[in-house]
Amino acid sequence: MKYITRTVWVLSLISLFTDTASEMLYPVMPIYLKTIGFSIVLIGVLEGVAEAMAGLSKGYFGKLSDNSGKRVPFVQVGYTLSALSKPMMAFFIYPLWIFFARTIDRLGKGIRTGARDAILSDEATPSTKGKIFGFHRSMDTFGAVLGPAFALLYLYYYPQHYKTLFYIAFIPGLLSIAASFFLKERRKSIEQKKKATSFFSFLHYWKQSPAVYRKLVIGLLIFTLFNSSDVFLLLKVKQSGLSDTMVIGIYIFYNLVYALSAFPLGAIADKIGLKKMFIIGLFLFAAVYFGMAANNNTYLFFVLFLLYGMYAAATEGISKAWISNISSKEDTATAIGTYSGFQSICTMLASSLAGFIWFEFGAPATFMLTGVATIGVTIYFLAMVKFTSSNK
């Protein structure tokens, strides 16, 4: 474990605390918004605006980080904004304020993502990228276990006391802010490529990026267009007759599997190649969606979410490690930020498409189409030439 440096530990703890705070609120967010007067349509608009802010800002701030040669300030500001947004949503309940607070949260994610992943890349070698990114994803996802588990326990004793939960979520947020001050800037300032960085300047990177980067990202984005929100999986479980508690329990189980699998699968990816591990993850994803199309058995749902957790562990951190391996060090944040920005937009489109198909043709058609599309993406990656010797 000597390759897990102090910086990687600090970043992983920051993510753990932040995800604990965010996921503590995930199960109750729609319920809370409805209790303060938000309609389903308004909730959808809120999430759409927030995700658009996160998506577009990831590319911009990634480019800004590369141009400035700084990483740590972006990480600190990003996590601070996300932490502050939690109590803000409970402090005032006016719609415009809620929109502002939610946007602040997503803006924080956009500011920190590229710089944070660039730091992780700098702390690794090409032969340890899977381990480093896998370890970080593992710690981050443990927050998605702790957060909902605490929310379940709290709501068991204090049902419908949603507002207090937002204030409680500020505590792990404060811990993430405190931990961020233990980060030290490793990179020396580099010569700025441009005196100014416009909001959409990161888009120029797409034209200037290596062909291998564009081939990889195109495949990833096509997959993202069919990879809709996990809410649809949970909705399928709910419609099969399971209680709210059981649904949240399955969600916690999925995140636990994800957290426990991310690091070992990252280590295996370093041995067999990032590309091979990612393709294995795609096969697992397709199997889950084909299974969801036909299943209504409670026990099989746990099996499917076991596989789904392994899919996430085999792809989430691996994809960013893969991108960082084919990008130059001075453009790492831009490369990851550009991909993450396009990914956020495609995720919004994916959920809209899935919702339309579900409404018009039913849940089985939604899951079957996603499964078939994933097989197509898998064939695309199998047909691609080797990117680098470490990604074979």
Query: What is the structure's pLDDT at 83?
Result: 93
Counting Cα atoms < 13 Å in the Cβ hemisphere of 121 gives 28
| Ranges under pLDDT 50 in the chain | 189-192, 387-390
How confident is the model over 242-272, as pLDDT tens digits? Answer: 777 787 788 889 999 999 999 899 889 989 9
Distance, CA of 121 to CA of 329 (rounded, Å)? 8
- Is residue 46 included in any domain, yes or no? yes
Contact indicator for 82, 169 with CB cutoff of 8 Å: no
Question: Where do runs of H (alpha helix) occur along the chain?
Answer: 6-25, 29-35, 40-68, 72-91, 95-122, 129-157, 162-168, 170-180, 203-208, 211-225, 230-239, 244-272, 274-294, 298-325, 332-361, 363-383
- Is residue 377 included in any domain, yes or no? yes
Number of domains in the chain: 1
Q: For residue 63, what are its two tokens?
A: 């480019």
Query: What is the structure's pLDDT at 44?
Result: 62
Mean per-residue pLDDT of the chain? 84
- Is residue 190 included in any domain, yes or no? no
- Is residue 133 included in any domain, yes or no? yes
- Is residue 194 included in any domain, yes or no? no
Query: What is the structure's pLDDT at 146?
Result: 93
Residue 77 sits in a domain of what CATH number?
A: 1.20.1250.20
How confident is the model over 172-216, as pLDDT tens digits? Answer: 999 999 999 999 887 554 444 555 566 666 667 788 888 888 899
Q: For residue 207, what are its two tokens?
A: 């034209």
Contact indicator for 359, 228 with CB cutoff of 8 Å: no
Question: Where do runs of H (alpha helix) occur along 202-331?
Answer: 203-208, 211-225, 230-239, 244-272, 274-294, 298-325
- Is residue 20 included in any domain, yes or no? yes
- Is residue 49 included in any domain, yes or no? yes
| pTM confidence score | 0.81
Residue 32 lies in domain: 6-182+203-387
Side chain identity at residue 123, one-letter code: E
Query: What is the structure's pLDDT at 387?
Result: 46
Q: For residue 1, what are its two tokens?
A: 């474990």
- Is residue 187 included in any domain, yes or no? no
Find the distance separating the first CA and the last CA of the chain, reported in whole Å.
24
